[in-house]
Structure formats: structure tokens, C-alpha cells
Structure 1
Amino acid sequence: MDYLTLAEPSEAKYTEKMSKFLAFAHPVESTEEAKAVIAGYARKYHDARHVCWAYMLDARRLDYQSNDNGEPSGTAGKPILGQINSFGLTDVVIVVVRYFGGIKLGTSGLIAAYREAAREAIEAGSIIQRSEMAQLSFTFPYLSMNDVMRLVKDTGVKVVSQEFDNACSMTVAMPSDDMERFTARLLDIDGTSL
């Protein structure tokens, strides 16, 4: 399954009625990584009034969360998440830091400002298409090593872990769409088992 994400971190700055909104978008692969990015910005901008965020994970877009960090409910995290959805992104976290400028923006003003800051951070980056990765662990006899390594090289799968002894084991990662074809070729090699 293919999905869209960011190629690298990006950032943008948006100003509305003297309030400054610093927006940061990062590609991430897990909840832990997303929360580490959020915590990093919270530490770095500890003097800011609000550090609001949203993330979307998983190619099926089932793991998501947003936070208003003290802004009125639904005025920060949801608009940020809305922009992630508008661009169809996943495996991404967006953090928007707000420095209050002395003029209240109101509910609709906050929603518009957080939405715009998130949009600009996304547009400042590069959106790429990725394939959902799947892992496969298998064993094989040492005598089949050359055949297994040739298959790994020919198919371009990523070796996650490997152990070589009389009985060898390996874990590889590949786009989930390639799993069936790779497994069929692997099982044609003498002595391999899943």
C-alpha cells in the first residue's frame, strides 16, 4: 500500500495580529518518535505561550492524535490535523509554536492561524510517495547463503538483521506489495523456511 509523507523536516513562520506561529513538520515512523519531536520543540520553545501539535501514523491512517496545549478546545490541534488530512499525509507530525502578540484572535482567528501555519510548513517541504513496509524472518542452511544473498541483492530488500552459523537466519524489510513474490522465490532455495 502506497502513502504520502514528507521527505524531510520543513518549517514555516506565520504572523497574525502580532502573534507569531512557528510551524515544524517532520516525517516520523512511530508514536514514540512523534512524541520525541513534540517534546524537543516544547523544550526548545519553553518560553512560548502554546506548543500545539498533531500527528498521523500508519499507511491506513488509523493512528492519529492532536493537542491544543491550552488553546480553546478544537482551535489548534484539529486545524493542524486537518491540514495533514487535506494533503493526504501519514507518518508525519506537525508542531506549531505560538508566541502571543497581545491581541486576541478569537476562535475563528485561532483556527485560521493554526491551519495556515501548518499548511505553510507542509508546503515548505517535499511530499513523497512511499510503500508500506513489511518484514519477513526466515532461516536457511549455510550452504544456501550465496543463493539467499543473490536474491536479497536482486530484489533490493533491506536486511534488518542477520545471523550466520551452520543454520543462518535473516530478517528483511520490503514494500508489502512485494512480499508474496519475494517469499515464493525464497522458498525455491533449498532448505529455507519461514
Structure 2
Amino acid sequence: MNTTDTYKTIDIPGEEVLFKDKNSKFFGYSFPITSEEEVKPIIDLLKKQHHAARHWCYAWQLGTENIRYRSNDDGEPSNSAGQPIYGQIQSYETTNILIIVVRYFGGVKLGVGGLINAYRTAAQLSLEASNILEKTINIKFCITFEYKNMNKVMRIIKERQLKITDQKLELDCKLFISVRKTIADEINDLFSTLYEIDIKRLEH
């Protein structure tokens, strides 16, 4: 079981990096992503920017507990590009990230070993040029109660310094809170014991 409730990611695209080997140029890029649908538009953008390049190889990983990932060699020999890029995502323990390496062929073949090294190095440089942050894995809850119980609820929220992400204050009040995974059960129990107050865990 994963006892930690933190993960590493980036919040803004990293700076462009360049690795050269035998006249071939490898431009590395890193992007924060939250869904697979974001990948293609980013690649299309880089294809416009580097329309004379030969290959746009990439790897991405999404999720904190249910991990999904993909790597793509884009015409390079099998496992010589996408996997080495993905290996760096794993090595830096990052997620919700897309790394693309754009290659301009320099006329000299690098061989599979040379390609693996070049794509791995470009991916590593792009991660080094990125601002990697540690974030917490949070569980979201909805607390429902009547307005008269507002003070009871707010007291716990203040005491435990909980983060309110949204609220609907009508006849029936709803507060949406985000809680670190490690204390989620404890917070759930705390509100569950209160009279006339309902707490429900929300799915991601």
C-alpha cells in the first residue's frame, strides 16, 4: 500500500533544451497535463514549430494511484525513443507530465544504443530545466447541513485548517472540502459523529 500522500509534478512547461550527437539535434520539452486529450494538440503545436524535423517522440504519465502511461517511438527503432523518455519520467518520480523530444536527423546514423542515450539525455535535460513540485494527494468531501449548524462545522474546519474548495449556502448548506489523503479517514469520522451533519466522500 502507498503510505505516502505526496507526488511530484510540474505546473508550467519547462524550458526548451537541446542535446546534440553526430549532427543530430534533439530538442526536449516538458508539459504539465491532466488528461490524455491534451497530448495530441501539444504535439501538433510542436510539429508546426519544428516542421523540418524527422521525429516527435514522447512519453506521458497520468495519475497518482491509478497510473496510466504511454510512450511513442514515432518511427524510430522499437523502444529506442519513447521508453528511454518514459524511463526519465519514472526516474524523477513525476506524474501528470508529458515529455516530447523532437529530432532533426544530421545525416549520420546513431544506432539503437546512440538513440537510446540521446532520447534519454534530452528527456533528462528537459526535466532538469523544469520546476518540479511536490503536491499532496487529496480526497474531496461534501458536507451537508442546515444553516443553524454552520458554527459546528466551521469550528472543525478552522481547527483542522481544512481547505474549502466550493460552497453552496442556501436552506441546506453544502461545503466541499479537500483533505490530505493521510488524514481523510480521521476527518470523515470527525464529521460523521456530529448530529444533523452529513459527510460524503466524492469520487475523483
TM-score band by shorter chain is: 0.7 to 0.9
Q: Output aligned runs, 1:23-34, within 5 Å.
A: 23-34=28-39
Closer, same or farther: CA 88–108 of 1 in aligned 2, 3 Å: same
Quick one: which amino acid aligns to residue 132 of structure 1? Answer: I
Q: State the 1:161 CA deviation.
A: 3.0
Distance 2:51 2:94 in 1: 28
Q: Separation in 2 of the partners of 1:166 and 1:39?
A: 49
1:87 partnered with 2:92: yes
1:119 aligned partner: 124
Report matched runs for 1:1-16 at 5 Å: 1-11=5-15, 12-16=17-21
CA pair 180-112 structure 1, distance change in 2 beyond 3 A = same
> 5+ unaligned residues in a row in structure 1: which ranges?
none
- State the alpha-carbon separation in 2 of the partners of residues 134 and 36 from structure 1: 30
* Superposition TM-score, scaled by structure 2 size: 0.82
2 CA distance for matches of 1:168 and 1:152? 15
Q: Judging changes above 3 Å, is the alpha-carbon distance between structure 1 residues 130 and 108 closer, same or farther for their aligned structure 2 residues?
A: same
Measured in 2, the distance between the counterparts of 1:89 and 1:61 equals 14
| Structure 1, 49-58 or 158-167: larger mean CA deviation | 158-167
Identity value in percent = 37
Deviation at 1:52, TM superposition (A): 1.0
Q: Structure 1 residues 123 and 192 mapped into 2: Cα distance closer, same or farther (>3 Å)?
A: same
SS of residue matched to 1:10: coil
TM-score relative to the length of structure 1 = 0.86
> Is 1:180 aligned to 2:185, yes or no?
yes
CA distance in 1: counterparts of 2:32 and 2:163, whole angstroms:
20
Q: CA deviation at 1:133?
A: 1.9
Please tell me the residue identity of whatever aligns with 1:174: V
Unaligned 5+ segments in structure 2 are: 200-204
Higher mean C-alpha deviation, range 109-118 or range 18-27 = 18-27
Computed over aligned residues only, the root mean square deviation of the Cα atoms, in angstroms, reads 2.3
Tell me what 1:70 maps to: 75
* Inter-partner Cα distance in structure 1 for 2:29 and 2:49: 12
Q: How many residues align?
A: 194
Query: Does structure 1 residue 159 correspond to structure 2 residue 164?
Result: yes
SS in 2 for 1:101: coil
Shift of 1:36: 4.4
